[in-house]
A and B are shown apart, each in its own frame.
Chain A
């Protein structure tokens, strides 16, 4: 029995079952009704795989070290759990930075194992194995620092503003080329151990340089891209260790990150290279040219409440500003109050609203807005002509009609929500300051648009108060 438990076949079967469970986990993630079953499948696969590996360690391990190994592995599992629990309990508004941080942790694990493998195996490494190993640590290394930078920007411990300088792309591509060059040299001279730390160091530096020019609005794409890199580096680790479960998990994570990056960059009408090589930072200053002060119409909470109360269909467009102001719970109260009056209220969610894919959905779900009222851009855009009021809370570029009409606009071609087709548009905004993206929004000057100046949370809460007063 013990021989079977320790055999390669046994662990192979365990890993096979775990792979199947991982695929099912993602399959069940496709809709909210089955998604929690997906978590259960993922957890089961994880427990099986770790349990099987621990058993195998007992059978395969060197007897004189066994007690020490087990002790340390369990201590490490314990510390990891102690670190993981608070990371699993963060506020929903902090999810983007938590996600970036966990990409860094995952890539850190992969880079460490790759480094250990390099020093254990050198100089007897076959060329293919060395190329995969170099792939693993270069991708892993740049993901570690890139994700830490992204997390720092999202947590606002680092400046969010994109930092650009002349020749940035040349420097970045140069760094990457040097790292790949060293990898190429190591493939042919696997004994050149002194070059290994240089390669890792350059990968780490490249990660920092890669994220420096990226601004807040591009974060959804960058987080997805880093997700993809973390997955690919794990798959490379699977090749190095000959572990098919790792290859499967890495491939799934890699393709998930890739698909999300494609969706995000399409939603901004930009190519990958365009996002990564920081075109936004360069375009923005040109757009922030002189603009005459055009008249806008503004309204008070009372007026806004009156217009909303008279409507029969309202669409709320949330953006990152709603998250910053922590206004989602007040928005839910507004939703309740309007729904009670028999008004049809829907939410229009642009794919890049917020700082990561699906960010707005999670915040509104947390505030107890039923998910069947959260509509994707393509599903709701046709409804705007029949909409009485579109209420925009903390969103800007995703509602900018210039993306459809003004070829000189930096966001020309980006798919946007057609809010200007609704009868009345109300925009909650702190001031007419265009924000750091610097793109003016012609929507604000249109006849049907009312500007509601103030803090999103306070303003929404005043509207709710007015509605409940007038109701009695």
Chain B
């Protein structure tokens, strides 16, 4: 338990730094799609909810798990869809290189 906890903190710290460095470089032009895609990626919480349903430990956890799957899935689908729609709209006046 103790070591897996420290492992988790390591992962959190490294991912936090990577996120900071990567996101800092994103053009302000794309801040709205950035927010919608991170929202979709964040909905990976759906895997936790699926595992919770599968553990089938109590009626309450089962129902909460199902509701959580619904909420997260709607973010995944809606988030990717709207990010894609937004990015399709961004066109340059210079001819695009293949």
Of the residues A43, A239, A251, A361, contact of B16 by C-beta under 8 Å: A251
- 1/0 per residue, CB under 8 A from B, across A16-36: the answer is 001100110111011111011
The answer, yes or no, to whether A257 is at the interface (CB within 8 Å) is: yes
Interface size class of A (residues with CB under 8 A): 35 or more
Across-interface contacts of A224 in B (CB, < 8 A): 35
Q: Considering residues A75, A86, A238, A356, which has the most beta carbons from chain B within 10 angstroms of its beta carbon?
A: A238
Minimum CB distance partner of B28 in chain A: A376
Q: How large is the interface on B (under 10, 10 to 19, 20 to 34, 35 or more residues)?
A: 35 or more
A49 within 8 A of B: yes
Query: Could you tell me the distance in whole angstroms from the C-beta of A352 to the nearest C-beta in chain B?
Result: 11
Q: How many A-B residue pairs have CB under 8 A?
A: 363
B55 to chain A, nearest CB (A): 8
Residues of A near B65 (CB, < 8 A) are: 112-113, 116
Q: Chain A interface secondary structure, helix, strand, loop or mixed?
A: helix
Which residues of A lie under 8 Å from residue B37 when comparing CB positions?
25-26, 29, 38-39, 42
Contact A32 B69 (CB under 8 A): no
CB contact between A49 and one of B38, B44, B49, B78 (< 8 Å): that residue: B44
Tell yes or no: A259 within 8 A of B by CB. yes
**Given the contacts A69-B53, A113-B45, A246-B47, A88 and B89 also touching, CB distance less than 8 Å:** no
Is B18's CB under 8 angstroms from A35's CB? no
Is A359's beta carbon under 8 Å from chain B?
yes
Please, which residue of chain B has its CB at the minimum distance from the CB of A14?
B47
Bound CA span A113–B24, Å: 31
B28 touches A358 (CB 8 A): yes
Binds B, one of A195-203, A227-235, A400-408, A438-446: A227-235
Contact across chains for A65 and B56 when beta carbons are under 8 A apart: yes
B contact residues vs A (CB 8 Å cutoff): 1, 4-5, 7-8, 11-12, 15-16, 18-20, 22-58, 60-62, 64-94, 96
* 28 pairs, A vs B, C-beta closer than 8 Å: A30-B27, A31-B30, A53-B51, A54-B50, A57-B51, A76-B73, A80-B70, A89-B85, A95-B82, A95-B86, A105-B72, A106-B72, A108-B71, A109-B49, A227-B39, A230-B42, A239-B12, A245-B44, A252-B41, A255-B19, A255-B20, A260-B35, A351-B28, A356-B31, A370-B92, A371-B90, A372-B94, A376-B29
